Amino acid sequence: EDQQAPAKAPLDPKKVLIVYLSRTNNTKAVANMIHRAMGGTLVALELEQPYPANYQATVQQVARENEAGYLPPLHTKIANLQQYDVVFIGFPTWGMQLPPPIKSFLNEVDLSGKTLVPFNSNAGYGVGSSFATVKALAPKSTILEGFSTRGGIERDGVLFVMEGTKEKQVQTEVYAWLKRINLLGTK
């Protein structure tokens, strides 16, 4: 028994919001794992105009939006944002950047004073500039260490991968990360 660390109560799930963007459900699977560990409100971000089903068309549209600084309007609105202290924000890496809809989200909601926790899936090239952009777009929030894992490779026709051994491995990594950043209660 550790006599140094005082017992810490888990976060009240009413204060936890988990928002995510996911096209092929890998980031969604990570969001569900976080939800399993933390409870809270889980919200999938939806756009007013969804991206095309075609991968290449989406890549091109995203590149144009990034270049123009276009913020696609969101269909999803968060009710009672003020009740949340900890906001998890999940997204895939798109064009080695933060996806435009997440830029829209950070632009339109006031997260000042809250703790933000980014999480990500990608095709193996990492988070790119996405975590740094979350920080830049939420200057009045406390940003905790993010979580990232390898998801699908849509370019090569690899869509959803969070099943079987991979799913178990990522769930274990998610628990270890939540523990490390001190968001799980200790007994």
Ligand X SMILES: Cc1cc2nc3c(=O)[nH]c(=O)nc-3n(C[C@H](O)[C@H](O)[C@H](O)COP(=O)(O)O)c2cc1C
62 binds ligand X (CB under 6 A): yes
Site string for ligand X, 6-35 (x = CB under 6 A): ----------------xxxxxxx-------
DSSP H or E stretch at residue 5: none
Task: Note the maximum CA span of the chain.
Answer: 57
**Binding piece for ligand X, criterion CB under 6 A, among 10-18, 42-50, 116-124, 177-185:** 116-124
Among 35, 58, 70, 135, binds ligand X (CB under 6 A): 58
Distances (CA, A) of 45 to 6, 22, 80, 139, 151: 37, 8, 16, 22, 18
93 binds ligand X (CB under 6 A): yes
171 binds ligand X (CB under 6 A): no
Closest residue to ligand X in the complex (CB):
151
Which residue's entry shows tokens 């699977």?
29
* Distance in angstroms (rounded) separating the CA atoms of residues 180 and 187: 15
Q: Which is nearer to ligand X, 125 or 179 (CB)?
A: 125
Q: Which residues between 140 and 169 bind ligand X (CB under 6 A)?
A: 151-154
Report the half-sphere exposure of 35 (CA within 13 A, side-chain side): 17
Instruction: Give the closest residue to 86 by CA, choosing from 158, 22, 24, 34.
Output: 34
Residues lying near ligand X in the complex (CB under 6 A): 22-28, 55, 58-59, 62, 92-96, 121-125, 151-154
